[in-house]
Structure formats: structure tokens, C-alpha cells
Amino acid sequence: MAAMSTLAILEFPDPRLRTRAAPVTVFDAALKQFVADMFETMYAANGVGLAATQVDVHRQVLVIDMSEGRNQPLVLINAGIVEKDGAQVYQEGCLSFPGLYADVTRALKVKVKAQDTDGREFLYEAEGPLAVAVQHEMDHLAGKVFVDYLSPLKRSMLLKRLEKQRKQAASA
């Protein structure tokens, strides 16, 4: 197998984050390599989820690992929600918004239909924080980001803070 490599992560407000991803139609070695690179990128950045959109690949691929041991990788390809239930508020972060966190309300449970890297279909049910991650990453593939759910005031406060952090980082 080829060596894994980390990919560059797009940061908000990069307009490419607004791209809608197309379905994956070819399940080949290149796809497996891309998924391996996505995991490598997510783990290197200490993230719990990553969508292909964030690495400027506009295909419906997302990876998640919310385990403490970083040993429960989940990959969902062409994921679609078939059922959702309940509501929860969870403080979310995003690798495309370094250092920014905000409470977002989402479904408590989701059931999704997805495919694995061989193209096999399966149903996946998630609840709580894992359900948050699935919904957050699926949003990326539709060109949506978590701050879209905030009130205009809250969003502008957060984005000002992000801008300030960037300036500080640039002058450090």
C-alpha cells in the first residue's frame, strides 16, 4: 500500500467550503487511498471528523473517529439520512474554524444509509455526540458549515474572534 499523506484543510471563509459534493461512483484503490489520507489528516489535526469538502475534494466521503483511543474509524460514503429523532444541543468545533466552538441544536439520533469503500451499502445508527458528528460532516458535503445555524449576532461575534486569532497568529 502507498504511504499515507496529510492533505491541506480549507479554512472558513474559503468559498470552496460552499461546494456541494457529488456522489462517489467508482470504488477503487484510489478511493481507499483517499480515505486513508483523510484519516491521516484528521488524526494529525486532532479532529474527530472530516469531510472531503474540507480537503477540496468534492465527493461524498466523510470520516469520523470520536473514540478516546483514536481506534474506531468510521467512513461513510454517499451517506443519506433515512430517519432522525429527537433534539440535542452540543458544543461543536470544526477543523475549518480552528479554535472556534459554538452550541448547535441537531437531531439526537440519526439512521443513515451509506456505502463502504468497496461500495457495499449498510445502515448506520448514531446517537448523541456521534450523531452530531455525522450531521456536521454531512452538512459539509452539502456546502454547509456549523456557524450557519447561529443567529447573525452570535455568528458575527464568533467570526470576529476568528479574524482576531488569525491576525495574532500572523504577527506572532
Asked if residue 48 binds Ni ion (CB under 5 A), the reply is: no
Contacts of Ni ion in 87-116 (CB under 5 A): 94
d(CA 41, CA 73): 13
Is 68 annotated in the active site? no
Min. distance of Cβ 102 from Ni ion in angstroms?
12
Smaller CB distance to Ni ion: residue 27 or 90?
90
Min. distance of Cβ 21 from Ni ion in angstroms?
13
Min. distance of Cβ 167 from Ni ion in angstroms?
22
Say whether the peptide bond before residue 15 is cis (omega within 30 degrees of 0): no
Say which of 92, 125, 127, 137 is annotated catalytic.
Answer: 137
Determine contact, residues 8/50, Cβ cutoff 8 Å: no
Phi and psi for 82 in degrees, rounded to 5? -105, -20
Residue nearest to Ni ion (CB): 94
**Site residues (CB under 5 A) for Ni ion?**
94
Q: Enumerate the active-site residues.
A: 137
